[in-house]
Structure 1
């Protein structure tokens, strides 16, 4: 027959049991067992990647356009460089059913007009192509060529030329540091593609982003070398709306 505990014994157990529970909970929190899960790139339904000549030959037939719904290809750099793999990648990626776009690596020491002309001469004007992307990064050889104001003006020249030619709103690819130092407060209507390999991008001004490059060490069948992997910020329905909007002829 079980013994009946006295009220004093119950009080002791309640006291020490509660104290033990508090200690255990504190330990779990300290060691990170319970935490608020940060958004992962895998939480986003629309996945994509980007490649250039650095990835070598891409076996497009081995990459699923259902798993990776979009791809951006490096087309040009500065005023005269053209990626040696662009034309081949452009044709084959489109043949295999990907949503395809092209990007330009912007040289901070070159005129925006010259760089825009290089891109326009290289990238076909296709109604179903993704919007053009201007890749803005620090360049140790060019950083002091222009003042910040002059640099923003040259970027605007290229931005506006691409917008007029392709009748699509260009996108800026940037790191958080470049955005905060150079672009903050400017080009408020230009969508952003943010590079952040540590966490979901959060900008100081709480501005939204459209694409997130979350790693440059992605592995995928059909590409022998590491690949940049990206996600679209919205839902599958928002992605389809984005595709439809960019497939319509609009006034720049």
Structure 2
């Protein structure tokens, strides 16, 4: 009997170790952005909802999105020092005409200086009264999925970019983060004054002081006609009155 119990204990221990290894592997893959869960987190009851779009959504009927409760939109403008989203100008004008509050975002490149990335963004995105602050999207691509650049390298690009954008638009830019990019590059207090837009489609955001939550990567709405059938959904963490005042110079 003792031998049987001892054998069962060993089997249970092995199974527990295997389960822990699987959970750890899934967690690492999710953190690195390689996998998404099919059942994404639902937001709590919020007042202000939005989307984020790029050329992948194609031509957008902004009035139709507004009729479905879209209050704001983060629109891709630029990437690195040269790329400009071909749908940006149409999206920027169309959203504003439909009464959807706009904000433009820049996909941060680790391969060119922050000053020239800022020039690229400023050359395309107008300083518009009432718009949301510019966004710098900090995530990973290509070889950096496996080998993220070091903290000092990223900050040497990010800091002059943020400084130039704040100088030109008169407000602190929003920082779009995943858990991985936040804890690798932003945690520690240096960037605590910047608004945070957190991507977390599986759980309530776990980064401190966030302002926007990207809670779904797999929604389907009516009113866009591009190669991507899905659209990202977001909420603002606050009341409608707080949203109206958010990101305005002097607030």
Residue of structure 2 in register with 1:184 after alignment? 187
Matches of 1:70 and 1:42 in 2, distance apart?
Answer: 18
Residue of structure 2 in register with 1:235 after alignment? 239
Residue 94 of structure 1: CA displacement?
0.7
Give the alignment partner of residue 121 of structure 1, picking from 123, 140, 147. 123
TM-score for both structures, normalised by structure 1:
0.76
- SS of the counterpart of 1:189? coil
Give the alignment partner of residue 161 of structure 2, picking from 154, 158, 161. 158
Residue of structure 2 in register with 1:149 after alignment? 152
What are the equivalent positions in structure 2 for 1:171-210 lying under 5 Å apart?
171-185=174-188, 186-203=190-207, 207-210=208-211
Matches of 1:151 and 1:61 in 2, distance apart?
Answer: 39
- SS of the counterpart of 1:63? helix
Residue 40 of structure 1: CA displacement?
3.9
Deviation string 1:97-131 (CA, Å, 9 cap, x unpaired) is 11111000011121111111000001011122110
Residues 1:145 and 1:226: Cα distance change in structure 2 (over 3 Å): closer
Give the alignment partner of residue 136 of structure 1, picking from 128, 135, 138. 138
Give the alignment partner of residue 70 of structure 2, picking from 68, 71, 90. 68
| Aligned residue pair count | 206
Residue of structure 1 in register with 2:171 after alignment? 168
Is 1:217 aligned with 2:221?
no
Matches of 1:213 and 1:61 in 2, distance apart?
Answer: 22
Structure 1, unmatched stretches of 5+, are 1-38
Q: Which stretches of structure 1, 4 residues or longer, exceed 2 Å deviation after superposition?
A: 139-147
Larger Rg computed on CA atoms = 1
Aligned-residue CA RMSD (Å):
2.0
TM-score for both structures, normalised by structure 2:
0.77
What are the equivalent positions in structure 2 for 1:6-17 lying under 5 Å apart?
none
Contact 1:48 1:69 in 2 (8 A): yes
- SS of the counterpart of 2:218? strand
